[in-house]
Amino acid sequence: MADWVKVATVEDVPPGTLKGVMANGTPVVLANVDGDVYALHDECSHEAYPLSDGELDGRDVVCIYHGARFDCATGRNKALPAVRPVKAYPVEIRDGEIYVDVGA
């Protein structure tokens, strides 16, 4: 069952940026790609540093620590040193507020 948690407003995450938030105690990084918002678990699968410390390059979330890349929509690992994906969470926008379902 979906468990939507309000984590931010759209204004908090301008296009081309990342923002780290918490949803029911789970760290989440939001990514705004040209107005579409995505959510990944905010922990790099390489050495568990926050992905929200990094940057968004197109659709890739780039880890600032050692350069791993993840697809912002799926969490798929796209560049070493990460060899595992990170979890992607469903996102909904309601009246300019961002909701994430970390229980899915």
Q: Does 57 bind ligand FES (CB under 6 A)?
A: no
Q: Does 66 bind ligand FES (CB under 6 A)?
A: yes
Q: Does 49 bind ligand FES (CB under 6 A)?
A: yes
Give Cα 50 to chain centroid, integer Å.
10
The C-alpha atoms of residue 101 and residue 69 are separated, in whole angstroms, by: 23
CA angle (78 as vertex; 82, 33 as ends), nearest 5: 115
- Among 81, 85, 90, 103, indicate the residue that binds ligand FES (CB under 6 A): 81
Q: Does 44 bind ligand FES (CB under 6 A)?
A: yes
Least distance from C-beta 47 to ligand FES, angstroms?
Answer: 4
77 close to 88: Cβ distance less than 8 angstroms:
no
